[in-house]
Amino acid sequence: MIEAKAYAAQSPTTDLAPWNFERREVGPHDVQIEILYCGVCHSDLHQIKNDWFPGIFPMVPGHEIVGRVIKTGNHVKKFKTNDLAGVGCLVDSCQECENCKQGLEQYCLEGNTQTYNSLDRSGIPTYGGYSSTIVVREEFVLSISPKLDLAATAPLLCAGITTYSPLRFWKVGKGHKLAILGLGGLGHMGVKWGVAFGADVTVLSTSPSKEKAAKELGAHHFVVTSDEKQLNAVKGSFDFILDTVSAEHDMNMYLSLLKTNGTHICVGAPPKPMEIAAFSLLGGRKSVAGSGIGGIPETQEMLDFCAEHNIVSDIEVIDIKNITASYARMVKGDVRYRFVIDMATL
């Protein structure tokens, strides 16, 4: 077995703290990565707090992993020692069902294996990227261009693909008015994609202080959602709303901002269900949709797109000792726009 150092939550009521555990040996199809940086996703906090479902403890969060390959199994073809590599939210799936065959491993009909807080196909818990090293089968490891800033690439593995995938699926681009709801880790990547794909991008935010930064990210308009006047001015105006909000919010109010035939795409995952009145939809033939992360081929496509267009996340690098304080800042919306742990501080 391989010794790994990590930060783990021992229960939903304790803070993350140092913890040692063992990873499996590198099998013939496996790649072992020395983790150099790991992004901090709001899903990490949802999961260590049991916001969605009872988790598997001890829990080592982290699914925005980048690092260097240190060992490969005999049958591995795509990677060699010293290559840069990434791992996102998925580490396995059946690879045989209709969805997996289309590269939609996130929707594997047998259920995918998530990078942490999941059981692998032999029933062993998975542990994520707030750790020194990880062993993952080759098919779930992504290639990362040395042209990109490595630390700022980490958030692409979740925040990046989760916003890229729906905008590609709904073919959002030139001629569309796109609203990004919530300017956090996911939202700021949504702005970058919307701009890169040629849409007219508006940020809908509860934080007036983010206006200047939103414009610097490329957003064309900024609306403070607590300001009635600003909100009324954009009623019925958007083709798409990409909703990245992590907490309860008034869906009916936001649906009123869509045009006829508009689509509200949920990617944020608030712990509690939200109410939607039928009248909010039927008046303008509106749709509410959802999208979960992205499959492996599309994640690689996104990373290659980033290397070509020089797109990475805007990050604040942190020492792992400050993880609990960083979660508190994330909940207050005080992060521009993603914390990334420097794993050398472990």
Please name the residue that has the structure tokens 């983790």.
Answer: 35
Q: Which of 185, 165, 337 is nearest to 265 (CA)?
A: 165
Q: Does 90 bind Zn ion (CB under 5 A)?
A: no
Of positions 40, 158, 219, 335, contacts Zn ion by CB under 5 A: 158
Give the number of residues in contact with ligand NAP, rule: CB under 6 A.
30
Minimum CB–partner distance for residue 323 and Zn ion (Å): 15
Scan residues 38-57 and list those touching Zn ion (CB under 5 A).
41, 43
Contacting range for ligand NAP; rule: CB under 6 A; set: 70-78, 145-153, 168-176, 245-253: 245-253
328 binds ligand NAP (CB under 6 A): no
Phi, then psi, of 189 in degrees rounded to 5: -75, -35
Q: Interface with Zn ion by CB under 5 A: which range of 27-35, 116-124, 150-158, 330-338?
A: 150-158
Q: Which residue shows structure tokens 């303008």?
A: 284
Q: ∠ CA 236-242-243 to the nearest 5 degrees?
A: 100
Q: Which spans in 102-223 are helix H?
A: 150-153, 159-169, 185-196, 211-216
Residue from 37, 34, 1, 6 nearest 20 by CA? 6
Q: Choose, by CB under 6 A, the member of 128, 129, 184, 194 that binds ligand NAP.
A: 184
Residue 337 CB, shortest distance to Zn ion, in Å, is 13
Contact yes or no for 86/66 (Cβ under 8 A): yes
Please give the torsion angle defined by the CA atoms of residues 69, 192, 130 and 55, in that order, rounded to the nearest 10 degrees.
-120
Contact call for residue 158 and ligand NAP (CB under 6 A): yes
Does 205 engage in binding with ligand NAP (CB under 6 A)? yes
Complex with ligand NAP: residue 26 or 159, whichever CB lies closer = 159
Pick the closest to residue 136 from 65, 190, 49 (CA basis): 65
Q: Which residue is nearest to Zn ion (CB)?
A: 41
Question: Nearest distance from residue 54's CB to ligand NAP, in Å?
Answer: 17
Does position 191 interact with ligand NAP (CB under 6 A)? The reply is: no
- Which residue of 206, 230, 237, 287 would you call a contact of ligand NAP, by CB under 6 A? 206
Pick one of ligand NAP, Zn ion, none as the site partner of residue 135 (Cβ within 5 to 8 A by kind): none
Nearest Cα neighbor of 10 from 57, 56, 49 is 57
Per DSSP, 110 falls in state T
Query: Which chain residues interact with ligand NAP by CB under 6 A?
Result: 41-43, 46, 158-159, 162, 182-187, 205-207, 210, 244-247, 249, 267-269, 291-293, 330, 333
